[in-house]
Amino acid sequence: MKRFLCAVTAFLMMILPVQAEEENASAGSWSQINRAVGKGEDWRQFATDGSFRLGEKEALEGYAGLYLMDWGTWPSMDGSTVCVPMAMELARQWLGLEEGDLSGFVNFSTTPYAYDRLTRGKPNPLVTIKSRGVMMDDTHPIDLVLATYPNADERRAAADAGVELVYVPFCCDAFVFMVNEANPVDSLTAEQIREIYTGKHKTWADLGGTAQQLYAYQRPHGSGSQTAMEEMVMAGLEIRKAEPNYISDGMADAVRQIGNYDNGPGAIGYSYLYYVSTLVENSGIKVLSVDGVAPTDENLQSGAYPFTVNYYAVYRKGDANTEAFVNWLVGEEGQKAVRQAGYVPLR
C-alpha cells in the first residue's frame, strides 16, 4: 500500500506545479521566494570525493519510469527559507543534480516546522528528483536542518523530548531593518530601534525623519526573524504587541508592505540581508545602517555590525554521518561553496 501511495504522490508531483507540504505545515519556503535561484556562470566544483551520495533506487511496480530512492549517505535536510540556496548549492556540489530538479529536491518547510521535524524524528515528505522519476524515501527522518537559531520554545521542545541538538555556525549574515526608500532616515541606533518596538515613537520626527506616522511591522512568533528580534535586538525588553494588520506572514510580505504598501513611507520592518538582497524582489526599500555601521561583508566577519548573525547546521548529537558532512561544510571546501552560493563565510 505504501508503494502504491508513493507512486501516486510522485506522479502527481511530476505533473502538478505545487509545493507539497505535510498536513498542518506552512506553505513552505518556495512561497516566499520570487527571484530566480541558480548557479552562476563561473560555478566551480569544490567537493573532491564521493563521501556523501544518494542510495539505491527501486522501481515502483506498475508505474513505469517511477522510482523510490533511499537517502544513502546524503543527509535528509529541511530548514529556513533563507538557507534554501545553500542547500541547492550543496546538492550541486555532491550530487550533480540538474538545475530543474533542485526546487523539488530542496523542499524546505521554514524554520519552526524544520525544527519540529528534527526534534520529533519526522521526515521531510515529498522530496523528488523530477527528471529521474524519483521520489526520495518519505519515511527517513530529517538528519540536518540549515536554519537560523531556534527560539526558546523550540529549544525547550528538544530538551523535553530528550533530544540533544548540535548547532554549528557555517556563515555570517546581517539581521537588518528596512524602510521605504522615500524615508530620509538612513541609520538608526540600536537603542532607537528598541524604542520603536516598545512603542515610544509614534512618528519619524524625532528619529531624523519627518512627521510621517510610524508603522512598525513584526513577524509571527516562531519565525526565524521574530526570534532574532525578540532574543537579540530587544535585549530583554518586551516588544509592544502588534496590531494584526502589522504582522507580516512571510518575509516576502514584509518587503512588499514596506516597499509598496499605502503606508510604506512610514513603515519599518526586519529581515535577513541575504533574503532581502537575493531571494525577493526588493524595489522600494532600503536597508538601514545601525549605530552608523553598514552591514557589509567585512563588518559581518569582524562583528562590527551590531546585529550580525549566523546560520547553523543543526543535527542530533551522535549522528556520525551528518557530523562528518557538517565538518566538511565548515572546512575549506565547504566555505568556498558557502561563498559561491552568495553567503558570507565565517572567515
Q: In this structure, is residue 81 part of a structural domain?
A: no
Q: Which of the pair, 170 or 1, is modelled with greater confidence?
A: 170
Q: In this structure, is residue 200 part of a structural domain?
A: yes
Is-contact 313 146, C-beta < 8 A? yes
> Can you tell me the distance from the alpha carbon of 118 to that of 144, in angstroms, rounded to the nearest whole number?
7
Q: How many CA atoms lie within 13 A of 287 on its CB side?
A: 18
Confidence of residue 262 (pLDDT cuts 50, 70, 90): low
Confidence of residue 245 (pLDDT cuts 50, 70, 90): confident
Percent of the chain with pLDDT over 70: 91
Query: Cα 58 to the chain's mean position, in Å?
Result: 32
Domain, as residue range, for 190: 173-308
Q: In this structure, is residue 224 part of a structural domain?
A: yes
Q: In this structure, is residue 126 part of a structural domain?
A: no
What DSSP state is assigned to residue 210?
-
Q: In this structure, is residue 282 part of a structural domain?
A: yes
Q: In this structure, is residue 198 part of a structural domain?
A: yes
Quote the cell numbers at residue 6: 508513493
Q: In this structure, is residue 331 part of a structural domain?
A: no
Please state the domain count of the chain: 1
Residues present in the chain in total:
347
Q: Which residues pair with 135 in a beta bridge?
A: 68, 128
What is the residue-averaged pLDDT of the chain? 89
The model's pTM is 0.87
pLDDT tens readout for residues 27-63: 688 988 988 888 889 999 999 998 999 999 999 988 9
CATH of the domain at 285: 3.40.190.10
Q: In this structure, is residue 297 part of a structural domain?
A: yes
Q: Which of the pair, 4 or 149, is modelled with greater confidence?
A: 149
pLDDT tens readout for residues 97-139: 999 999 999 999 999 999 999 999 999 998 999 999 999 999 9
Reduced 3-state DSSP string for 28-60:
CHHHHCCCCCCCCCCCCCCCCCCCCCCCCEEEC
